[in-house]
Each structure stands twice: as C-alpha cells, then as structure tokens.
Amino acid sequence: MKQQDRDALKSWEEYKEDITNSTPVDTSMTAAEREKHRLWLEDNPEEWIIFFFPKYAKCAFAEFQKKAIKRLINNPEWYEVWSWSRELAKSTIAMFVIMYLVLTKRKKNILLISNTIENAVRLLTPYIANFEANGRIKAYYGEQQNIGFWTDQEFVTKGGAAFRALGAGQSPRGSRNEEIRPDVQYYDDFDTDKECQNPDIVDKKWDWSEKAVYPTRSISEPLLVLWCGNIIADNTCVGRAAKMADHHDIINLRMVDIRKPNPTEDYANGVSVWPQKNSEADIDRVLSKISMKAIMGEYFNNPISEGTVFKEVKYGKMPNLKRFPFLVIYGDPTQSEQKGTAKNKKGSRKAVWLVGCIGDVLYVFRGFIGKMSNYEFITCFFVLYEWVAGRCPVYLYMENNSLQDPFYQQVFKKHLAQIRKERKTNITVLPDEGKKPDKAVRIEADLEPLNREGRLVLNIAEKEDPNMVELDNEFKYFKLSLPYPADGLDCLQGGNKIIENKVAELAPVTVIKIESLRNNNRHRR
C-alpha cells in the first residue's frame, strides 16, 4: 500500500471513529423501550435527525429548513429544487432526509448525481460512513454494511436500500435494486462556472439528466427528485429544473422577507436567515474578504457581470472648495422604512453624498453607503456639512416622495432636531419632492453622458474608503435591470439634479424685446 493510500485509510478510520463517538447508545434501554423510542422518533422527523446525526445537526433548524424537510418527507412523488446560499447546509439536510426515507423503508433505490464521478463519490461518502459507524443507526435499525455489495461508488445495505454515485454523462442504465427502479434522484452541484459559459455543454448535460436519468424511474411508483444548487449563471441545469419543479426554494444568506427572494434588497437590507449558525458579525467578516461578484453569485443567487453602462469611472484630485459656487449634500433613505431594531440593528441600506459642480464637471467628494439606522442616516448630513467647515455654501436635500413624506415628518425631522442640539450645528435637510421617473432610467440618462465625456470625477483621495469602494461597485455592476444596489448612484443623480436646478435659478434672465426680433427679421422689412 502506498503512503498516500495509508493516509487516506487513516483519515477514513478517524472519520468513522468520530461518528461512533458522537452517537453513543443507551445500553440500559430494553428492546421494547428502544422500539417505542424508534417509533416516536419516526413520527417526529426533526427529533429523529437530531438524535441520529448529532455530529452534523449542531445548530437548531431554521424555519425554512423545517419546511423543506416536511415537504420532502410528506410528498412521495415530488420534484424540488433548493437554491440555498452557501453555508445553509443544503447537502447535509438532503442527507438527513434521504437517510430518514431509507431507514424508514419509504425509499429503496437512491441515485446521487454530481458534475463528475469523483464529486458524486464524495457526496456518497458520509452516507457510507454513517451506515458503517453510526452506533445509533446500528442499535435501532441493525447492522447496515453488506459485505460483498459495498464499494465507494455503489452499495446495497442489509436493509435492502441501494445507493449509486453517478457523474454527469455516465450511463445510469441498470440502476435497479431487484425489481425496484430508482425512487430518489438527487443532484448536487451539477452545474459548474466554467461549463455554464458554454450553452452546448449545458444543453448536453440537461439532455442527459432528462433523457437518461429521469426515465430510470418507474411510472407506477413515486419518485423524489431533488436538485441542490445555487443560481450561478443565467443558463444552468438547475435553472431549467426549477421551471418544472413542484417547488423551487430560493434562500439567500440574508433576506428581507423569506417568502420573497430579492437579491438586491436582501443584500442591502436583509438579515441572516439562519442566525442560530450564521451571526451578522460573522457574515460581515466573510463577505468583506471576497469580491462583490462572488458575494452575489455564491450567497444571493444573483450571478452578476460587469455592466456596460459605466465601463470606467474617472478619479481625480478635487478642486479647492472655495472655487465652487455651492455644494450639495444629498441623501437617499431608500424605499425601505426599516428602523434599527433588535432583529436588524443596523437598519436599512441608505446613502448620503457630497457633490459639487464647476462648469460642466460634477465632482464627488465623499459620502456614506450602507445599512444604518435613521439616526445614523441623519448624522451623515452633519458629518459631511462639518467637513466642509464653512469653506463653501451647502444645500442639504433628501429624496422625499409622497409615500416617504409621513416618515420624513414624523421621524427624520425629530432626528434633525435632536442632532442639532447634540452637535450644536444648525442645519436643515430639505425634502426633495420632485417627481422622479424610473430609478435606473434616470441614473443612466443623467450620469452616463457625464461619465462617458469625463465630466464625472470621483475623489481620488477617498478611493480606498469603503464607501467609495462600494460606490465604485455600483458603477461597475449597474444595469437597467438593477441586479445590484444603486443607492449611491441615486444620490449622485439626485444631487446633480439639484445643482442643475439651482444653476438655472441663479442664471441671469435675458429679456428680448419683440421689436428687436422684428427689426432683425429680413422678411418683415
């Protein structure tokens, strides 16, 4: 045996020993007591899972996980897709359900399918390990390892259940357990990033699943089909499966409403859907270390690509503030009116930015974007105003349509009065009540020409500031469909519009007399 094989065997034995140690058996129970306990556990699937798999079920189930478990157990003939974010245990919970269905003899022939046979074998590994080493399974359901029918790619338990690992493209024919055709088809990470870039490969893999795998079922017996996979591209096998599924479960890492997945809003204003495992602080830490493209694709089921509207943004040195006729601080409280609460301590995503114009160039000095309470939102106006420090006149505005006005009157004005006293700075934030067209359209119409002509300049001194980095992301991923938040861009557009209106108001009016027009018209001489 090679050293590599010895190491693999040692790791395998340690893995099984860990499972054995985590599943001690109460030897004081009589056979009758154990049987009574088994029947009770089977009537309570969540308790069954916690009892038999304590090594894996370390955190309390989230509500969406409980509902998913019930759907799969209670519907023998069922087709479901789980597009759950990473770190929501979709593969582990799928294992819990399949093991429950097998050990209670509701399902007997299982296909586990992945993009390659190697990955399918890895998917099958914890099933084999638990059948071999889980002391509680042995005590309650008997010895499962069936010598002679036991490999890392396929096996049949002593209880009569067949398991087979399949990689994409392999022949599934012959996947029968005596007279029983496959009654569970479980796909996990079937799509890959590279393959999804080639429509022909996606077509080929989908044809294989639809024409080769699915027909291995019996027409007269119920089949459970489960796909586990994030939405990693516009064209995927998971996406096609979702269109025909009885239920498509889209769960992002953070969500505003668990019933209504919205990746843009969920990223901007959502909270952890599984707080028992993933705290807000832990999520913040993880997301801070990867690109926005990765965040949206892996954790929010939102495969984004760089947009074509703002191909490149310009950074430059800001002119002296004394050169500006005036500046504008503009805030976007967003459509969400969430306050900071015990559930969502940071409030909703909001933005406030300081901008100014010299000639026809819009300069972006600094600002704030992110989840913040209403108090913090109003404080941002004071921080930016105090930064200007009287070097230039400043107008302060916040977006305030008719739906937002009650909140402005009842909440924001109170915060303004309170912070004036605290900071001893006497400012007023005026409501911008002008009617506005579609958000994405006005951003493109007003900002894209400025950017294309080099007349939109971001402060290079703030380039590494997290708020400016986020604004840069908004430019980078902007599309009219708004697959990514655009609160900062909305602020810039709003501030620019205020500047245009003020310039028009300040411009001298030239009065032309009718007589002079007549005198200059050669046709009237």
pLDDT tens by residue, 454-511: 999 999 999 999 999 999 999 999 988 888 889 999 999 999 999 999 998 887 655 5
Check whether residue 361 and residue 223 sit in a common domain: no
Q: What percent of the chain stands above pLDDT 70?
A: 91
pLDDT score of 525: 47
Q: Under the phi-then-psi rule, with left for phi > 0, alpha for psi from -120 to 50, and beta for the rest, what region is 482? A: left
User: Does residue 330 share a domain with residue 215?
Assistant: no
Are 331 and 460 in a shared domain?
A: yes
| CATH number of the domain encompassing residue 220 | 3.40.50.300
The average pLDDT across 117-129 equals 94
Q: Residue 315 has what pLDDT?
A: 97
> Same structural domain for residues 8 and 140?
yes
Judgement on whether residues 247 and 318 belong to the same structural domain of the protein: no
| 237: nearest Cα among 131, 413, 114, 329 | 114
Asked if pLDDT for residue 347 goes beyond 70, the answer is: no
Q: What pLDDT is attached to residue 178?
A: 66
Mean pLDDT score of the chain: 89
**Residue 295 located in a structural domain:** no
> Is residue 291 in a domain?
no
Residue 116 lies in a domain: yes
Range 142-162 average pLDDT: 90
pLDDT at residue 184 is higher than 80: yes
- Is 100 inside any structural domain? yes
Mean of the pLDDT values across residues 27-55? Answer: 95
Within a domain: residue 495? Answer: yes
Which uninterrupted H or E stretch holds 123?
helix 117-133
Judge if 17 and 103 occupy the same domain. yes
One domain for residues 185 and 114? yes
In this structure, the answer to whether residues 347 and 234 fall within a common structural domain is no
The separation between the first and the last C-alpha atoms of the chain, rounded to the nearest angstrom, is 111
Query: Is 301 within the bounds of a domain?
Result: no
Q: pLDDT tens digits for 5-29?
A: 666 767 778 888 889 888 899 989 9
How many structural domains compose the chain?
2
Instruction: Give the C-alpha distances (Å, rounded to integers) separating 455 from 46, 157, 385, 474, 492.
Output: 60, 71, 24, 18, 13
Cβ-contact 168, 131 below 8 angstroms: no
pLDDT at 512: 53
pLDDT of residue 504: 87
180 DSSP 8-state letter: B
The distance of Cα 368 from the centroid of its chain, to the nearest Å, equals 22
The residue with tokens 């106006």 is 381
The reported pTM is 0.78
Q: Looking at the structure, do residues 371 and 494 belong to the same domain, yes or no?
A: yes
- 52 with 145, same domain: the answer is yes
> Do the beta carbons of residue 168 and residue 116 sit within 8 Å?
yes
pLDDT reading at 522 higher than 80 = no
Q: 239 and 342 share a domain?
A: no
What would the mean pLDDT of 197-207 be, rounded to a whole number? 94
Whichever domain contains 430, its CATH number is 3.30.420.280
Flag whether pLDDT at 376 surpasses 60: yes
Tell me, yes or no, whether 284 lies in a domain.
no
Spatial neighbors of 448 by CB under 8 A, at least 6 apart, are: 309, 310
206-236 pLDDT, tens digit per residue, is 999 999 999 999 999 999 999 999 998 889 9
Range with the poorest average pLDDT among 52-66, 69-83, 280-294:
280-294
Return left, alpha or beta for 164; rule: phi > 0 is left, psi -120 to 50 is alpha, else beta.
beta
pLDDT of 290: 84
- The verdict on 57 and 191 lying in the same domain is yes
Q: Is 266 among the domain residues?
A: no
Structural domain span for residue 69 = 3-251
| pLDDT exceeds 50 at position 426 | yes
**Residue 175 pLDDT class (50, 70, 90 cuts):** low
